[in-house]
Chain A
Amino acid sequence: MLRAVAKVTAGRGDLTVLAVEGLSVSYGAIRALRDVELEAHEGMITAVLGANGAGKTTLLRTITGLVKPSAGSVRLNGTRLTGMAVEDIARVGVAHVPEGRGVIQELTVDENLRLGTLWRLGRSERRKAMEEVYGLFPLLGERRNRHASTLSGGERQMLAIGRALVSRPKVMLLDEPSLGLAPIVTAQLMAVLRDLAVSSELTVVLVEQNARSALSVAQRAVVLNLGKVVVSDDADVVAADNDLRHHYLGF
């Protein structure tokens, strides 16, 4: 049954939006990533799984230019991102929601969202894009003039995702969105992500330690171990592989 769903979605994901090829990163003598390959297809959620220290966060930080790779490349719709400045990579449509949420607490909810609209939208579209996010997360709309520091963990995650969404990104990178959230909030969040991928053809790379919830919404999954890709397959295949789950994903 699950397999059939994956087959159906495969048709829409033919287009590779983000392509990571042979990516290696070293921190001094430590090799954080070795020859990593990853493809994110249009309108699909690609989960990047693995234990603490597997290199998941490093992978995202390298895609957004915060970390320089020692080898390999990252391409967005064929355009090479490797070597570009962080702010330019953001402006061409890579939205990174960093671990720990990256909401700017000293700014209001509205100001946080406005920051997301500055580059990729015309002046007239900005307000509309923000209202869409307030429609998607009504709680944020009610708190739009409050400082982000007054929000709960779940609300901050909504705000961080909303701020990525208003920029109409070509690909959205999410780093551990479930970190520190109650299971029910995590479930709501994953549902929102699934809906977004389906309805707005959003392409998502979802980094998670919480493999079970990530696999429940992802179509593709990549498992990292000590900086290397050990599996890259459809999400339901990964979820069904008991050895793999016990070995690398811990459930």
Chain B
Amino acid sequence: MKLFVDVTLNGVANGMIFAAMALALVFIYRATSIVNFAQGAMGMFTTFIAFSLLDRGIGYWEAFAAALGIGLVLGALVQRVLIRPLQGKPELNPVIVTIGLLVVLEGLAGSIWGNSAKGFPPAFSQTGLTVGHTKIAFSHFDLFILGAVLTLMIATLLLFRGTSLGLRMRASAFEPEVARLLGVRVGRILTLGWALAAVAGSLAGLLVAPTASFSPYYMDLSLVFGFTAAVIGGLDSPVGALVGGLITGLCVSYVGGYLGASLQPLGALALLMVTLTARPQGIFARPEARRV
């Protein structure tokens, strides 16, 4: 029983991180139908920049904010410089470019910071909280993860549902030509979408770093899990990303807790296959209602 509770709590905390990763993928997929394979590597790179800042004695939260801010700029830059010139080309081209970017960023990080694993400090204590007399596998840091990702999700929903910018973003994603005819600068909206996605990816990077072996490749697995979460959620809804993240987190955690940690990626793969077989459009995808 104790193991079950601990594994579940662990799954929830991981699931929230996968949800942030999935949200980043969803942001871009929804707007441009591109899966950004460099999403994890971009988060890795900005987290390494935070690592360097911490090394120079800059405060934790300043470094944290800087990583998110640099993520914003990096996302916009990637869209403008690498993705935009490929507009109108086959859909696979930008996807291949993101894989290239993944390799370049990991290589670059390796040559700047080295390939050996380092330690990235957590924002809060990682020792389990004590409930009554038992220690549970849920720490202050896990609480922080929960709060940070929920804040991200709520901010995203408020942006989409409550603001004119969000309305323009949704219009651009659904019907870019109609949006342009209504005066929406769709090109800028796409850049903004990549920028915001990169912020979510950076947040995931900062949250994964303290729990992983912090090398340039530490986000690879999170990308796989985040992608699984995004597909389960239907690749186009923020709520789907959250639920998909939790399902993936729990599944991976149960596999790790009961069958062994080395089987975790296989667990995610199995989950992906089951989802794609049973409900290929994902759990939260809205029914197709396109023009005939």
Q: Which residues of A contact B (CB under 8 A)?
A: 64, 66, 86-88, 90-91, 96, 98, 100, 102, 104-107, 111, 114-116, 118-119, 149, 163, 167
Contact = CB atoms under 8 A, between A and B. Distances in A.
B111 interface: no
Contact of A105 (B182, B183, B289): B289
B181 A115 contact: no
A115 B189 CA distance: 14
A98 B178 contact: yes
Interface stretch (B94-102, B122-130, B162-170, B259-267): B162-170
Given A114-B167, A118-B164, A106 B180 contact: no
Q: Chain B at the A interface: mostly helix, strand, loop or mixed?
A: helix
Nearest to B289: A149
Given A87-B186, A91-B183, A118 B168 contact: yes
A106 B174 contact: yes
Which of the four size classes fits the interface of chain B? Answer: 20 to 34
Interface in B168-210: 168, 170-171, 174-175, 177-186
Contact of B182 (A66, A100, A106, A115): A115
B291 interface: yes
B286 interface: yes
Nearest to B175: A104
Given A87-B185, A107-B171, A149-B289, A102 B178 contact: yes
B2 to A, nearest CB: 46
26 contacts: A87-B180, A87-B184, A87-B185, A90-B180, A90-B183, A98-B178, A98-B181, A102-B178, A102-B181, A104-B171, A104-B179, A105-B289, A105-B290, A106-B174, A106-B289, A107-B167, A107-B171, A107-B174, A111-B170, A114-B167, A115-B167, A115-B168, A116-B182, A118-B164, A167-B182, A167-B183
Contacts of B180: 66, 86-87, 90
Interface string B249-292: 00000000000000000000000000000000000001001110
B291 to A, nearest CB: 6
Interface string B27-53: 000000000000000000000000000
A87 B182 CA distance: 7
Enumerate the 5 nearest inter-chain pairs by beta-carbon distance, A residue then B residue, closest first.
Answer: A90-B183, A149-B289, A86-B180, A119-B183, A102-B178
A84 to B, nearest CB: 12
Contacts of B175: 102, 104
A199 B180 CA distance: 29
B184 to A, nearest CB: 6
Given A66-B177, A98-B178, A105-B291, A111 B167 contact: yes
Contact of B164 (A86, A114, A149): A114
Nearest to B188: A87
Contact of A115 (B171, B290, B291): B171
A102 B290 CA distance: 11
A64 B164 contact: no
A94 B112 CA distance: 53
Interface string B65-77: 0000000000000
B187 to A, nearest CB: 9
A79 B249 CA distance: 58
A91 B186 CA distance: 13
Q: Quick one: which of A66, A91, A104 has the most chain B CB within 10 A?
A: A104
Nearest to A111: B167
A91 B183 CA distance: 5
A100 B291 contact: yes
A106 B291 contact: no
Contacts of B286: 106
Contacts of B186: 87
